Structure 1
Amino acid sequence: MRAPVRHHFGWDDNTSGGKAIRPALVLLAAQAVGARARKALPAAVAVELVHNFSLVHDDVMDGDATRRHRPTVWKRFGTETAILAGDALLALSAQLLAERPRELQVLMTAVLDLVEGQSADLAFERREFVGAEECREMAAGKTGALLGCACALGALAGGGTAEQVRELRRFGEAAGLAFQFVDDLLGIWGQAEVTGKPVFSDLRNRKKSLPVVAALAAGTEASRELAALYGAKEALSDAQLAHAADLVDQAGGRAWAQAQADRLLSQALVHLEAAGLRQRAHAELAVLAQLITRRSF
């Protein structure tokens, strides 16, 4: 499994291995409750391994051929190898926390939430109608749970109080859900050089992402036209994909998703304030939350 994993992380050609947001949250949360970051290092690595397990499997399920401007693992090594590589990353994450049972339980609970969210995401692609609230719940599991887990793990490893663990978890969950709203916006309007994925990737895969679900539920002429494009059996052309993106915007999906991301960021910062943290780490967590919800299109 070393070759596909090295490729995924960019270690074989010294390219980017990702933003490492989740381990950064773990380490900062540990510092925020008064511990040294090193104390939370196993949890930080475990969270990043879980995240990458999900990415390797997601690429198989979505059929995405590129990630971070490079061929995905399944595209380079085959589907079977990609599935096994993802499994290996998940197993290693659990092994890292084998002697920290409380932290392992928190991580594996988040994995279950992540899997449930991904399962719902796949199911939505086969359904004609998806409600905005159930789509939000899907995103909370798929993305929010692991970011909340990262913050809780850091606080646990650092010896934080029960209240600090709880508030930091809520901070991470809200920031993570905001992150998913922005990620869904990037999945439609993001530039390939920024996202590392093909332009209109989510529309091409007929994903029921948050902006799309909101647009389809708006009941406007643009909504109906978008529904017709999403219901077409044939693959959408580049021109149709660009038109679908315009329809999501016209139906209000883009503005709604951005407003939700802004509101969730505000909620996250309220929970951060309530945790009673060390000032410097508090400020760095706030900056990181703003960074991941203000990514460039």
Structure 2
Amino acid sequence: MRTTGRTREQDAVGSPSDDAPPETWLRYAHEVTDPVLRKAVSSLHQQARIVVGYHLGWWDEQGRPVSAGWGKAVRPALVVLAARAVGGRPGVGRSAAAAVQLAHDSSLLHDDIIDQDETRRHRPAAWKVFGIPGALLAGDAMLALAVSLAQQDGHSARATAALNEAVQQFIGGQFEDIGFERRADVSLGECTTMAARKTGALMGAACRLGAMAAGADEAQAASMDAFGRSLGLAFQHVDDLLGIWGDPELTGKPAGADLHTRKKSLPVVAALTSRTPESKELADHYSRDPALDDMDTLRRTAHLVERAGGRRLSAERARRHLSEALCHLDDACPPPPESRPLRALAQWLADRDH
């Protein structure tokens, strides 16, 4: 493991202190990653660059500067804090952080098309503005760019292999998610496996890439990967809860959006497989035409999921996966303070409301 002799004075100048709150670290990760993203995106074909920049919240559809933002920077923060936790100097892993964010945003571009989601981050999704072909091509360009960036923080072959594996897994998870829409017999185990691939794999890769950029050995990198994967499952459980019960003003999506699209999310599958009276009514609703939904119907459906135990089970599993993640982090890192920001971020992600 590389050691750096980092001091509190260096932290004060170059990055937040170990006891800074997670929101501060997320802002820091955004600040150090954004310039790398902008430089990389500037190399794209002009039309791809316009779509990608719009999707990342840098400008409007005409290319005029705006400040919509590209999200909470969760995955870049995982890269940066994983590097810090194993002793990396401040700033290590910025290219890897940008790579992971590009891979993630590529999947969001494609997900919005697949799910026909018309909004992303409180404004029209890219495919609604630029059309499906333009959004697809921009997503492909982002993914190719992500692979190039992953090679710039050292360990290029291992880094590329880690990112490629994560991409293959989240593509597989997306295929499974699509397949669930046509099935009435999805099990909770299948749903968890899909979430592990679609969300956990990339969060695991983020932590692995950060550790590798800081010079971690393979055992540490593997434990960091396991930490990120377990955290990804906790994150997805919370995300699915917010997809049903989240405040639209905070989530940026309409109330009950996942129910309207008949998404087989973890709480829904838990409810459908509960063998309760509510599960039968819920299954009947999921067989109906979504075009007939109104707000009363969606509220009733959310109530059925909750009464059948889907909300409680998802919350319990989020807590369990968080506990698993922190155990893996103990295996990977020395005691605090180096790992304190990463631990705090993990807890924040499992307790978030947006």
Q: Which moved further from structure 2: 275-284 or 107-116? A: 275-284
Which structure 2 segments of 5+ residues have no match? Answer: 1-47, 60-65
Please provide the CA RMSD for this pair: 1.2
Is the Cα contact below 8 Å between 1:33 and 1:278 reproduced in 2? no
Q: Distance in 2 between matches of 1:61 and 1:135?
A: 18
1:269 paired residue among 315, 323, 326: 326
**Map of 2:133 onto structure 1:** 80
**Map of 2:166 onto structure 1:** 110
1:155 paired residue among 195, 211, 216: 211
**Alignment partner of 1:134 is 2:181:** no
**Alignment partner of 1:24 is 2:49:** no
Is the Cα contact below 8 Å between 1:132 and 1:214 reproduced in 2? yes
Is the Cα contact below 8 Å between 1:28 and 1:37 reproduced in 2? no
Deviations 1:15-37 (A, max 9, x none): 12101111111111111111224
**Letter matched to residue 83 of structure 2:** A
Q: 1:37 to 1:278 in 2, by over 3 A?
A: farther
The residue correspondences of 1:232-247 to structure 2 (distance < 5 A) are: 232-235=288-291, 236-247=293-304
2:261 paired residue among 189, 205, 215: 205
How big is the shift at 1:107?
0.3
Moved over 6 A (4+): none
Q: Distance in 2 between matches of 1:98 and 1:285?
A: 24
**Alignment partner of 1:186 is 2:242:** yes
**Alignment partner of 1:172 is 2:172:** no
SS at match of 1:36: coil
Q: Distance in 2 between matches of 1:248 and 1:97?
A: 41
**Letter matched to residue 6 of structure 1:** G
**Map of 1:10 onto structure 2:** 57
**Alignment partner of 1:66 is 2:113:** no
Deviations 1:155-201 (A, max 9, x none): 11111122211111111111111000000000000111111111111
How big is the shift at 1:234?
4.9
**Letter matched to residue 128 of structure 1:** A
Q: Percent identity?
A: 49
Q: Distance in 2 between matches of 1:97 and 1:294?
A: 30
How big is the shift at 1:237?
2.1
How big is the shift at 1:128?
1.1
1:219 paired residue among 275, 278, 284: 275
Is the Cα contact below 8 Å between 1:34 and 1:278 reproduced in 2? no
TM-score normalised over the length of structure 1:
0.97
**Letter matched to residue 145 of structure 2:** L
Which structure 1 segments of 5+ residues have no match? Answer: none
Aligned residue pair count: 297
